[in-house]
Amino acid sequence: MEVPRRMSGKSVKDGSGTGKSVGLFVTCLVNTMRPRVGFATLKLLEEAGFEVTVPAGQTCCGQPNYNAGDREAAKDFARRFAREFSQFDHVVAPSGSCAAMIRVHHPRLFDADDPDKELVDAVAARTHELTSFLTDVAGVRTTGTATSETLTYHDSCSGLRELKVKQQPRTLLRAAGAEITEMEDAEVCCGFGGLFCVKYPDISGEMVRKKSDEVVKSGAGAVVTGDVGCLLNIEGALARRNDPVRAYHVAEVLAGMTDDKPRNEDDA
């Protein structure tokens, strides 16, 4: 395939992080399962003063294939991703897991002599998880709205361990006026793990049962997380046990979009 000229090595940004253009990667689960998180992210980035573009050709970061051992397909996703997002000063995703896939794992997929290596590395270096981008890169101290509910924060594994996202979402939530009550084992995996949850439903189910126990024990009105995968998992377990505790993505809370009313009801 031919690489458009603007995407060739030379025009790649140096990753100094000074520019204002942001390519928003909405991630598959946000796109399909929780579109509101995408709009919340858009709002937060624009309010922070960035020119946000959502590249139309984006699909997936390739994580499902990568973690299932399908390395070639993962490489293909990575290559496409880098081309799609090459022209922005920053790339932001409302997901620690997808951001880590791009930042940490995409570069590992390419050998040093691969013609796409330079581009992939450069885009990877400019890619960030939303809350760490807002705080660490953009220097945002406060955002608008939070919620009056007491929140408990679940640390999603990839963001936490691969990108060191821990204090950033808490800082933003507190600055927005939210009260956070920490649950026990906030850093323990909720059992989602991508395909893991359907490959080993018994184990995954038991893990999310333990997690939802801790959420309920914390006494919070809602559990907040930075990944829609974990969110759907914990939310689904809470719903199954008929628990009223809600589950939100941190972007939804920060953007004041925690109501469940669809914006664009279709008749499906």
182 secondary structure, DSSP code? P
39-78: contacts with other proteins (CB under 8 A): 39, 42-43, 54, 56-60, 62, 64-71, 73, 76-77
92 binds other proteins per the rule CB under 8 A: no
80 binds other proteins per the rule CB under 8 A: yes
197 binds other proteins per the rule CB under 8 A: yes
User: Largest alpha-carbon pair distance within the chain?
Assistant: 56
Q: Which of 7, 22, 34, 165 binds other proteins (CB under 8 A)?
A: 34
168-187: contacts with other proteins (CB under 8 A): 187
| C-beta of 16 vs 264, nearer to other proteins | 264
Q: Which of 11, 18, 33, 177 binds other proteins (CB under 8 A)?
A: 33
* 8 Å CB contact between 128 and 57: no
With H, G, I as helix, E, B as strand and everything else as coil, classify residue 193.
coil
* 8 Å CB contact between 204 and 173: no
* Cα→Cα distances 142→90, 92, 171, Å: 20, 18, 9
Measure the CA–CA gap between 235 and 65, rounded to whole angstroms: 25
| C-beta of 14 vs 71, nearer to other proteins | 71
Q: What are phi and psi of 81, to 5 degrees?
A: -60, -50
Q: Which of 119, 233, 253, 258 binds other proteins (CB under 8 A)?
A: 233
From 26-34, 113-121, 124-132, 167-175, give the range in contact with other proteins by CB under 8 A.
26-34
164 binds other proteins per the rule CB under 8 A: no
Tokens of 227: 């990944």
268 binds other proteins per the rule CB under 8 A: yes
112 binds other proteins per the rule CB under 8 A: no
240 binds other proteins per the rule CB under 8 A: yes
| C-beta of 34 vs 126, nearer to other proteins | 34
How near is the Cβ of 173 to other proteins at its closest, in Å? 21
222 DSSP β-pair partners? 151, 246
* 8 Å CB contact between 93 and 130: yes
Measure the CA–CA gap between 256 and 66, rounded to whole angstroms: 34
201 binds other proteins per the rule CB under 8 A: yes
Measure the CA–CA gap between 7 and 17, rounded to whole angstroms: 18
